[in-house]
Amino acid sequence: MDSYPRNKRRKTKTAGVEMIIQREKAVTLNADIWFLVVKIHDEEMQTSQQQLIDEKDISWVHDEEFKVWLHRLRLVSRDFNRIITPIVYRHIDATKYSFMNQLANVSGAQENIVSFARRIKFPVDVKANTRNLTARLVAACRKLELDRAAGVLVSSRLSPNSRACQFFARNWSWIEEITPTSTWSNSTSRWELDSKVSPSVFVTSIQGSRQHSQYSKLEFVSVNLLGAEFQNFESFGARFPPMERLELVQYEWEHSKSEIEKIWDFSRLRSLTMKQDIGQFLFSPPLRHLQHLEYLEIEDIFSYGPSFDEIERTRLGLGRLLGELKHLNTFKMSAYQWEQLVPMQAVVGIENRLRSLRLRSFSSCRSGMLQVSMLTDLQRACPGLEDLDLNISLVNPEALKFLRVVSQFEKLRTLQLMTNDPLATRSLGDEGDTDYDMAKVIMTNLNAQKSGVTFNSITIQIHKITFTRGVYFPDYTHRIFESRINASGVYEQSAYKETLDGKAFG
């Protein structure tokens, strides 16, 4: 016989039912939260994680991992929706899940985007029925920091007059023109598409942004155009908003001085990155427009091997520019045979203002290694250098002197060296890692010989290349050796391989 009282059994059963009901209430998610937390993690969406990793945007990856955790969470408090809403809306990726189509009509979604979104990625081909909504949302966002895909194609049949709209964010955004070439299978169509791209798209759209308060807070503008034809700038009568950071990627700078005045506002410019042919740029903007630059980075100067005239013109223009930048503290040059393009006397002339310097050659570290005499001049003239990134070749007879001078920079904390050669010659029967062993010797000696402050880190990168029929071909992977003194004062060394797209392994 069961001696447990029936009334207590009845009460216990009732209490259990009530508990289940309460749990059911607790796990009920608002429709938009359910979509963000659960729907996007259906089986057909599982490829997104690897895509995010491939894009090397780690903050998006962490956000997705957090949502995966939410997906598994079933028992939650009654305040779960209120607590979780600002978190799941902080990063909105509208590029993969037909986001605008599925979420636009969900109650509260638009208000939550406006209130909580900090980063938004938009698809290249925003559909006509959500185009206006997308533009309104971005304009109204109160906390938006980053608008990733700012160039949005509005028509599959591109014409110079009807083709794109631009979005601007408050704090850290850029303008980026994205051409969805995968939409067209015919290469001729793709070329016609590219050839019609014009900065008029940007300039026309900027007029609409002036009415928003965030206009004055724009910091970063990136313009990325391929195969563009620039003309008729005068007719638009609008300018890019003043920016602190500008990045030009494959942007064929063909502006006249009058066009520059009408389109660009460099009054707040402090950082300039150019990954393009810079010959025209160096001689077109009046230097007074760039006089407040603190950061200058130049990469991929020539699409093809430069002619002698191009080299001389670039060298002259760079010397002229560097001589006028009285606030410059960071100069980075990564280019084919930089040593022919950069007048080192102009770099040395920056003197004590210079804090970070990169001089890298993509062709050969043997020819791209800075001469010891010039490195010595740099060490004397720029005692404030804290970050140095240079080529080195251990087969160069001056390599040991080079390393000795590097260790004498009093304030140098971060050193990066790149070479195309093995660090040591492997003898017959060697089974050890000779490159690792030699890297350890080099980095240990640098630390021992260091004058002034100690190194925070030393990095040596072996980037192998082959030279075939006059063309340099980089290896798909390169080895990286790192050393640092940890918080406990203990010397540490590590080694790994990295692919050209940034993936590290082993």
DSSP-assigned letter for residue 212? S
Residues 59, 91 contacting (CB under 8 angstroms): yes
Q: Report the alpha-carbon distance of residue 175 to residue 162 in Å, rounded.
A: 18
Residues 233, 258 contacting (CB under 8 angstroms): no
The contacts of residue 1 (CB under 8 Å, 6+ apart) are none
Per-residue pLDDT tens digits for 355-403: 999 999 866 656 679 999 999 999 999 999 999 999 998 888 999 999 9
Which helix (H) or strand (E) segment holds residue 207: the answer is helix 200-209
Query: Strands 245-249 and 271-275, how do they pair?
Result: parallel
Q: Report the alpha-carbon distance of residue 332 to residue 208 in Å, rounded.
A: 35
The reported pLDDT for the residue numbered 65 is 60
Q: Report the alpha-carbon distance of residue 354 to residue 295 in Å, rounded.
A: 10
Q: How far is CA 495 from the centre of its chain?
A: 24
Question: Which stretches in the chain have pLDDT values below 70?
Answer: 1-29, 31, 34-79, 95-107, 121-139, 144-242, 250-252, 300-306, 362-367, 426-430, 465-477, 498-506
Q: Report the alpha-carbon distance of residue 433 to residue 442 in Å, rounded.
A: 15
Q: Report the alpha-carbon distance of residue 108 to residue 326 in Å, rounded.
A: 51
The reported pLDDT for the residue numbered 102 is 63
Residues 353, 320 contacting (CB under 8 angstroms): no
The reported pLDDT for the residue numbered 256 is 75
Q: Report the alpha-carbon distance of residue 174 to residue 150 in Å, rounded.
A: 7
End-to-end distance of the chain based on CA atoms, in angstroms?
67
Is residue 147 exposed (0-12), middle (13-18) or buried (19+ Cβ within 10 Å)? buried
Q: Is the pTM of this model over 0.75?
A: no
Which helix (H) or strand (E) segment holds residue 467: the answer is strand 465-468
Strands (E), 163-308: 164-166, 220-224, 245-249, 271-275, 295-299
Residues 355, 386 contacting (CB under 8 angstroms): yes
Q: How many CB atoms are located within 10 Å of the residue 245 CB? A: 18
Which helix (H) or strand (E) segment holds residue 10: the answer is helix 6-27
The reported pLDDT for the residue numbered 404 is 96
DSSP-assigned letter for residue 487? T
Residues 133, 99 contacting (CB under 8 angstroms): no
Q: Report the alpha-carbon distance of residue 351 to residue 488 in Å, rounded.
A: 34
> At 286, which amino acid appears?
P
Q: Where are the alpha helices (DSSP H) in 250-356?
A: 257-263, 279-283, 308-324, 344-348
Per-residue pLDDT tens digits for 173-201: 333 333 333 332 333 333 233 333 333 33
